[in-house]
A and B are shown apart, each in its own frame.
Chain A
């Protein structure tokens, strides 16, 4: 095989690999396209452009996101945050049209849906509670964390067939989103699997990597 043939073969192999890797990430790409589009719309809308039609189209194309129970909490929060910015802008309009009212209604529906089962994640403690914690009350904070971990596990494991798949997602959330709850959940699952005689070394390694990233402040959420 000539030098050129070898290079052409390598080129074809790499292109094929990337094509398959991207195909495997199809759902993530669709999500990312939707998020990017909404991000662009939000920036321009907040900047003063009238993008009522674009927002309406986005809702028409991504309405199914509202009913997806496998949507990651971080993605859900991003969408909620962007829609909230759009809604604030709509409320700032001196006059509303039927189209903007419809969009405001859709956003409210999303926000209400987002709030279902997630409100307990927002923890606000008064000065007295904070004072008690400073004096050594670790029971209540741990209980709250356990509650959040439990909800995260319910989110992650929704459609999974095996605990290892849920662990994989938890580790990804820990390393990509810098989620402390995901890190703790990963550790818990790994320990459980170890007790059940599973081979957990690769996951322990990933956990340590996620932990070092978390400690190093390399997270981006």
Chain B
């Protein structure tokens, strides 16, 4: 049977192919014990983690923008016409 680290790495690459970065990051973490000295592995893992961090930050900024819009709609506690 396949080594668990090898299998996790293989599944992580497949997840990257599907652009499922969250799953890929989880699988890279699972595979990490067997690839501590592997530069290619480290590069792919860190790039995936950085991409997820960037996406989180973008989502947070988008949510902040939406909050601002709500504040405009309910200025002074009264609903205003935004059209």
Tell me the A residues contacting B by CB distance below 8 Å. 3-4, 7-8, 10-11, 14-15, 17-19, 21-22, 25, 28-29, 32-33, 35-36, 39, 42-43, 78, 81-82, 175-176, 209-210, 212-213, 218, 220-221
* Docked-complex contact A17 and B17, CB < 8 angstroms: no
Q: Does B54 contact A (CB under 8 A)?
A: yes
Number of A-B residue pairs with CB-CB distance less than 8 Å in the complex they form? 80
- Least CB distance from A12 to B in Å reads 10
B residues 32-48 touching A (CB-CB < 8 Å) = 34-38, 43-44, 47-48
Which of A17, A22, A39 sits near B1, CB closer than 8 Å? A39
- Interface residues of chain B: helix, strand, loop or mixed (majority): helix
- Least CB distance from A155 to B in Å reads 19
B6, B14, B16, B61: residue with the most chain A Cβ atoms closer than 10 Å = B6
Cα(A35)–Cα(B3), bound, Å: 11
Which of B3, B13, B16, B58 sits near A11, CB closer than 8 Å? B58
* Docked-complex contact B37 and A3, CB < 8 angstroms: no
* Docked-complex contact B54 and A11, CB < 8 angstroms: yes
A46 — nearest CB in chain B belongs to which residue?
A: B1
A21, A43, A221: residue with the most chain B Cβ atoms closer than 10 Å = A21
* Docked-complex contact B7 and A39, CB < 8 angstroms: yes
A218 contacts across to B, CB distance below 8 A: 34, 36-37
Chain B: residues with Cβ within 8 Å of the partner, total of 31
Tell me the B residues contacting A by CB distance below 8 Å. 1-3, 5-7, 9-11, 13-14, 16-17, 19, 21, 34-38, 43-44, 47-48, 50-51, 54-55, 57-58, 61
- State whether A35 and B2 are in contact (beta carbons under 8 Å apart), knowing that A18-B44, A22-B13 are contacts in the complex: yes
**Listed A/B pairs (5) with beta-carbon separation below 8 Å:** A21-B43, A33-B14, A36-B2, A82-B1, A220-B6
Extra contacts besides A4-B61, A7-B58, A36-B2 (5): CB < 8 Å: A11-B58, A15-B19, A22-B16, A29-B17, A209-B37
A7, A18, A19, A35: residue with the most chain B Cβ atoms closer than 10 Å = A18
* Docked-complex contact B2 and A14, CB < 8 angstroms: no
* Docked-complex contact B1 and A14, CB < 8 angstroms: no
Cα(A146)–Cα(B37), bound, Å: 27
